Structure 1
Amino acid sequence: MTEKKPKSSLRENIEAILIAIIIAMFIRTFIVQAFKIPSGSMLETLQIGDQILVNKFIYGVKIPFTGGKTLIRVKDPQKGDIIVFIYPVDPTKDFIKRVIATGGDTLEIINKKLYVNDKLIKNQPYAIYKSTELIPGNFGPRDNLRKIKVPDNKLFVMGDNRDNSLDSRFWGFVDLKAVRGKALIVYWSWNKDRLVPMWNSVRWNRIGHILR
């Protein structure tokens, strides 16, 4: 009977690294993923330089390379959810916006006032309007949008910075299959405009901030 040859330390280290990579890829693909906020379209909810964790499981486990086919669906995105999704205009980019209306809802904007299912939407403390200018509907959809109906399995999304957000008002609906997940928490925040001294560039008060 021959004795089993012990593994070399190099082989053990390589195996440990490979296992760690596989676990990390599994978590990133199916459970949680990190994203960085590059623009101010979600101010003041999200700051430029915020780094967030996104729950990829809550809206269903999507099978890679199947065009968004969902294996396990926990629930669909709800009004008010902050979601990360594949940008319909450029699939190589991810966008983050807030869900305003879901499939079957009607939506209309009149002089910056939002109506969903013919009801004026109030009590949205996250919605910020910084411009007093009103753009007529025939010049653009930012402040005035004719009544539309959201198709089934689609979402209408907007940024919280309502006067400065490229969203569904301009490029249309988000397909449920394009949704990557729901924004959960800010785990790190970096103000690139305050790099010296370095510790002043970290927004310590935002670390651990739960997103709503």
Structure 2
Amino acid sequence: MTKLPEFKEEIKQNKTWYREYGEALLVAAILALIIRTFVVQAFKIPSGSMEDTLLIGDHLLVCKFIYGTEIPFTDKVVLPLTDPQRGDVIVFEFPGDLEKPWLERRDFIKRIVGTPGDTVEVRNKRVYVNGEVYDLPQEVHKESSLILPGTRVSPEDRRDFMPKLVVPPGQYFVMGDNRDRSYDSRFWGFVDRDLIKGKAFIKYWSWDGEEHWPRFNRIGRLID
């Protein structure tokens, strides 16, 4: 018996250009969401509290997986590469916004000064951690005057003099490098570990709003 040859019929589906374009946009959007949620996220500096490390108009990238990946819709963090360390520049949700659920949560950026168990104190503008002076090359003081305790009935009393505080477990004490013009843990308390979004690591763009010109010497610089 003669065996008949087998023919394979290939069916080609012609997609319209707008369908292909839409699918490509959908895939790109999903990838961008995954990267933004679990890998890196871009932020822009709106204030001078971290001068001169970070200037108004600096754009930076934040590594979101270094301290672990947060499972969406939960507070659980998995696969941390390291714990937040003293000296790290971090982005976090402002703790004060938790008391105002009707407001949009704001992101702050500061430097970790105290880790869980540390004792932090401020005397005459100088920071002491565990009884030792904690000086950083990045810190600046742009106000020569001292605010003495009790001279003002406001949280500003704690700017230059703050009594000893012990950082609780799972929390961090943060300060801005521009010590005299930073609204930080001296005034509103500690940052819970769960509120930390990641570690800032590079400036990918910088725009001088006064000169209306890019700061080319800052672009691509690592944040230390």
- TM bin (shorter chain): over 0.9
Q: Which amino acid aligns with 2:83?
A: D
- The separation in 2 between residues aligned to 1:162 and 1:186, in whole angstroms, is 21
Q: Which amino acid aligns with 2:97?
A: D
1:104 aligns with 2:117: yes
Find the residue that maps to 2:217 and give its secondary structure: helix
Compute the TM-score of the two structures, normalised by the length of structure 2.
Answer: 0.88
Find the residue that maps to 1:129 and give its secondary structure: coil
Deviation string, structure 1 residues 87-136 (Cα, Å, up to 9, x no partner)? 111251000000001000001111111110111113x1101011121112
Q: Given the alignment, which residue of 44, 52, 66 partners 1:58?
A: 66
- Superposition deviation, residue 5 in structure 1: 2.7
- Measured on the aligned residues, the alpha-carbon RMSD in Å equals 1.3
Find the residue that maps to 2:22 and give its secondary structure: helix
1:41 equivalent in structure 2: 49
1:198 equivalent in structure 2: none
**Structure 1, unpaired ranges of 5+:** 196-200
Find the residue that maps to 2:95 and give its secondary structure: coil
- The separation in 1 between residues aligned to 2:162 and 2:55, in whole angstroms, is 27
Q: Which amino acid aligns with 2:184?
A: D
- Superposition deviation, residue 37 in structure 1: 0.1
Find the residue that maps to 1:83 and give its secondary structure: strand
- The separation in 2 between residues aligned to 1:185 and 1:2, in whole angstroms, is 51
1:113 equivalent in structure 2: 126
Q: Given the alignment, which residue of 214, 217, 223 partners 1:202?
A: 214
Question: What does residue range 112-151 of structure 1 map to in structure 2 within 5 Å?
Answer: 112-122=125-135, 124-138=136-150, 139=152, 140-151=157-168
1:189 aligns with 2:196: no
Find the residue that maps to 2:25 and give its secondary structure: helix
- The separation in 2 between residues aligned to 1:190 and 1:7, in whole angstroms, is 43
Compute the TM-score of the two structures, normalised by the length of structure 1.
Answer: 0.93
Deviation string, structure 1 residues 135-188 (Cα, Å, up to 9, x no partner)? 122341000000110000000000000000000000000001000000011100
Find the residue that maps to 1:98 and give its secondary structure: strand
Aligned-residue sequence identity (percent) comes to 52
Deviation string, structure 1 residues 175-207 (Cα, Å, up to 9, x no partner)? 010000000111000111112xxxxx1101110
- The separation in 2 between residues aligned to 1:114 and 1:137, in whole angstroms, is 16
1:154 aligns with 2:167: no
